[in-house]
Amino acid sequence: MKKTFFLLILAIFILAIGCSGKWQHSTKPQSEWGKDHAECERMVRESIREAPDTYGLNNEIVLIRKCMKLKGWHR
């Protein structure tokens, strides 16, 4: 029981650290992030609508992150 609890706390801690990074861009201000993210979400969701059975929520998140990286954003 203690081991399971410890592993759960460790997993939450690692997840929190991994998700805490802020997106940055070398030439765009932080205020442009929302516009680019919304555009990536729209593009990804349109492509998912064409083949909804082949994508899950995790795939959507991964594809949005790839789109943001293609636009020059990084963590």
H helices of the chain, where?
2-19, 33-50, 57-70
For residue 5, is pLDDT > 80?
A: no
The DSSP call for residue 32 is: G
Extended beta strands in 11-75, E state: 24-25, 73-74
pTM of the model: 0.66
Mean pLDDT of the chain: 83
- Residue 53's region, left for phi above 0, alpha for psi from -120 to 50, else beta, is alpha
pLDDT, tens digit (0-9, with 9 covering 90-100), for 47-64: 888 877 777 778 899 999
For residues 66 and 34, the answer to whether their CB atoms sit within 8 Å is no
Q: Where are the domains of the chain?
A: 23-74
CB atoms within 10 A of CB 44: 20
Q: What is the mean pLDDT of residues 15-23?
A: 64
For residue 15, is pLDDT > 90?
A: no
pLDDT category at 6 given cuts 50, 70, 90 is: low
75 CA to centre of own chain: 10
Q: What's the pLDDT score for residue 26?
A: 95
